[in-house]
Each structure stands twice: as structure tokens, then as C-alpha cells.
Structure 1
């Protein structure tokens, strides 16, 4: 397991520097139809547009690491149980894109199971990680659904779907609510999220409507709602398991170092080429594997997520 020993300057560099290897891998993934999350690319664009964002994210990281250092895996949140209200914003051109209330509820149900370790496949966690597989203990409740017809065939990743003036829907109470947008993103992107520290006017998670919730066999292998779990993990301050760099750092001490993104349904054990020799945690929600192949968070990830909801954290107002 890795240790988190980052100076303020190193953290600032982590948030403000683009990794060419990751970009190349993502382009290759798009060409072969494999999972693509645009959260990192969107972050890079936001950092370029707003130089102060890196400073805010550095401050959040300093706060997070300080808070984690005072907690263990059995910590209690300052405001007790966290229940996150969720508003769904559906943007549709076709009847298929106008996803049903039942499909929307299925995404909420998946989030509740995955973040409380009540998902049926949680029992598949390998024995070597059974001691750190986490019940994050955060739940979600549907607070509202907004729907809007549109003529757009795709929305891209420049947050147009989050703006009424640009034909989308503004976020609802973003300081106290998680907003999810369901729409056609395009470009092979399954979804993306905004990390803590970004503008409230664009805060939330975007999921392509084809992969929203339990979306049916036609959307396999991304039909089990795990795109939502992955993206909400980003919204709660988790990085990709490989740290968006070759053998990179995801800022979590108990996740094994990964060479790069993993795809499909890798057989366990999956031996890493990052030294020293160890197995990669391909079943972690923050990898790029198929929905059926991801089914766990770690205690370190739990602590990192929960820290942002504690007093003074960037999402402390949510779930109060």
C-alpha cells in the first residue's frame, strides 16, 4: 500500500498538470468502445479557464488529508448520518432519452447499495482486501425530477447541459443538493463529474442517458448503474484508481498502485507491473472496468469522501 506524502506544491501540480499518457489511453479507449469518464478532462479545462481553482483544490486537499489523519475507518461524521438529496435533470430529444421514473429510481437504488456495501456482488471482494472493503455509510434520496425537451443530438463536456441559457437546466440548490443530468453526451463518454472546489453553477454529475441506472441489456456492459457510482465518487473527491498517471497516486493510502486504467472484466489476481509486485484492485469503483466487474470502495476512500462533509469541508452543507 502506498503512503500519502505530498507537499502543497506537489498537490497543486497534481491538479494543474495534464498527463499525456492518460489522454492517449482515453483516446484509445474511445476508439474501441471501452469505458470513458471525462471528469479529468473537464477538470483540466476548468483549471485552464480559472487559475484560482487549483488553489481552492489545493486547500481542499490540505483540509482532507488533515481530517483523515485524525480519523480511522470507524469515525463518525460531525453531522451524523449523511443522506444526500438528489435532483435529476433529464434532457431529451427522443422518447428513449426521456428515461422513465423507474429507471431514475433504479440509479438511486444502485447508489444506495454501492455506498452502503449492500450490493449483491460485495461478497466477491477478494480475501486480501476483505479487511479494507468499506461500507461508506452515505445514502441518497430522490428530491425531484426536472425534464426538458431539446433538439440537441449531443451535449459534449463543456457543461452546456447545466445552463438554462444554453438550452439545458440550471442546477437546483447546488450547495445542498447533488444534481445529476441525464442526457446524450457524445464522443463515447459515459459520464463526468465536477470535483469539490468548482463553480456552484456547474456542480454535479452528468451521465449519458443510455447508461443511467439499470438501463437494460442493450447498454451492456455499462447497464448496472456503476457509471453513476463512479462519477459520484469523483463528486465526493475520489480520483481514478491509477491517479491519472502511469503507476500514479490516487491520494488514498490503502488502494494498491495501478499501472493505468483497466477495462473489461479482468480475472483475479491481476498482477501489476508497478513495483513492488502486487495485485491491482480492478474491482474498485474508481477503475474503468465493466459494471459487473466493479463492486467495492476501500476504507481509505471512505475516509476521503466523508472528510468533505465534515465541518469546514467543501460539501458540509449537504445532508444537514
Structure 2
């Protein structure tokens, strides 16, 4: 009975977060569309809410994944390792109408390189983490290897967030080996959305991450202030079970004890220290990859975020198939 109540509590927290996030995003939608450079917009939680509405069992499934994650946080991680690092093959699916949208191999490789730096704490700005958070800044220890690039010409000007780009029958591209490879779709999303990810627990038929071609990598079509590849870092964080740092609610929870409570999302490049009005008035970790700040202003994961990500690859975890 206690276990059921615990999981229902988690499900309620997740649903509440999705509701709050939708209100924030809807309130600023006009601003996001008219001036996307001023507002980062990730649709991951909005997509999750829609998936839950279509599948009433998904909320409980995700609650079980959260309970599993919490139970594993203190255990040693065992997985498929290459020189001590988890290695994930990446398939990049490029859907393009214009020549610019058919991004170059160099732009694709720049994104893979950025993911490797950000998830292994070799990014040059990692040293910019303030001393207040130096004790919890983390090297996640995950390597990404470009497996293949699939390209497809299309007549679509934008794809939206209902996973059409992931379905060949709808003009997109079905994911390749989604239980053993991370699929990235690069296309024009529209609506001011930079990207979105599917959280662990969703259907393998739509599993992966979508990034708008204007915010992918650090060269070619990559557009300031989202031209350093951090949109993919943020979205892959979601794919690995990380929540937005403000918990998608005022002073909400991201299920990490070492990330301070945030009032809401931060934008631009906030000056340090930036204080929250949440309980205790903590300094917000605005430089965390799971905030909404500009690419130049985000450059760290925390230790608890690292633990959450590694937990999903353990035996019984939702992404264990990647670790075999």
C-alpha cells in the first residue's frame, strides 16, 4: 500500500509540473514565436503531458521509473563501458526542405563533439562553475559515437511536436534501433520550439530527441544565442530522465537534492549570484544545463543529476538495453 501511495505521489508531482509548465509556455508563446532568440523553449514536458493524456497508464509507468531511480541512486553503476565510459551510438535523422536545413556533416559532428565535452566535463567553460557549486559539479561519464546519418527531402515547412518527424508514414523517418541507439531528428520544428525529448518510459517507436536545425551544433545554421550545441545537451538530459531545474512549477522539484530550488526558468545570461525567493532564498544554479539560459550561460550537470542519468542504464532500468 505504501509503495502504491508513493508512486501515486510521484505521478501527481509529475502531472502538476506538466500543468504548470504548460501555463508558463502558453503565456509566453507569442513572445517565443516573435523573438525566439530571447526565450529558450523546450517542449519535452508539454509532449509528456500529451502522451499521458493519450495513455492513462504512462503516468504510473513513469512513477515506477522514478521509484526505481530513487532506489538505485546509492548503488554502484554497472554497464557496458569503453575505457570506463558508457558509450551510446547516435543516429542523426535529417529532414530538410531547403539546402540550409540539409545540415552538413561538419555541423553534425560538431554536435556530437559538444555532447562528448558536456557529458564528460571537458567543455572549456566547465571551469566557470562558481565555487558555491564546485563541490557538486559532475563528470557524467557518457560518450556519444556517431553511428550513421540518414537524410530525407521533404515538402514540410515545419513539423510541430506531435512526433510526425519520427514516422515514415507521416513523411518523417522511423527511428533506427531505438532500444540500442539514440535517435536525433534534425528538422524545422516551428512555434518557437528549440527542441524536445521523450522521457524514459515512452514508446520505442517515438523514442529519441528532436532538435531544430537552427540550434544544432556550433557551425553552419547554428543561430545565436543557441549556437553552442547546448539545446541537444539539455534535451538529451531529458532523454536520460532529468527534469527542468525549476521542476516545471514555482519552486518545484527536479528530484535532485543538490540543485537549489528555482522560482521558475531563467533566460539570457543571469549575473551570479542570482537568488531564488523559494524557501531559504538559495542561489539558483542558473548555469545548469537543465535551465533555460542561453547556450553561453549553461555549462554544468550536478552530482545528483549524474546519478539519475546513470541509474536508468542499470539492470531493470528503462534504458538498460543500451548497456548490454
Which TM bucket (shorter chain)?
A: over 0.9
In 2, Cα distance between the equivalents of 1:15 and 1:275? 21
User: 2:236: which partner in 1?
Assistant: 232
Partner residue of 2:50 out of 45, 48, 58 = 45
Question: For residues 1-320 of structure 1, what are the structure 2 equivalents within 5 Å?
Answer: 7-17=6-16, 19-32=18-31, 33=36, 34-68=39-73, 70-71=74-75, 75-80=76-81, 81-215=85-219, 219-320=223-324
CA shift, 1:28, in A, is: 4.2
Q: What are the ranges of 5 or more consecutive residues in structure 2 without an aligned counterpart?
A: none
Q: Quickly say closer, same or farther: Cα 1:140–1:153, change in 2 above 3 A.
A: same
Post-superposition CA distance 1:174-216 (Å, at most 9, x none) = 0001000000000000000000000000000000011111145
In 2, Cα distance between the equivalents of 1:153 and 1:137? 37
User: 1:3: which partner in 2?
Assistant: none
**Normalized against structure 1, the TM-score is what?**
0.94
Moved beyond 6 Å, runs of 4+: none
CA shift, 1:21, in A, is: 4.0
Aligned 8 A contact 2:77 2:311 in 1: no
CA shift, 1:164, in A, is: 0.2
Paired residues, number: 311
In 2, Cα distance between the equivalents of 1:199 and 1:132? 33
In 2, Cα distance between the equivalents of 1:58 and 1:18? 13
**Normalized against structure 2, the TM-score is what?**
0.93
In 1, Cα distance between the equivalents of 2:95 and 2:29? 23
Please state whether the residue corresponding to 1:86 is helix, strand or coil.
strand
Please state whether the residue corresponding to 1:318 is helix, strand or coil.
helix
In 1, Cα distance between the equivalents of 2:164 and 2:53? 18
Aligned 8 A contact 1:185 1:191 in 2: yes
Aligned 8 A contact 1:79 1:310 in 2: no
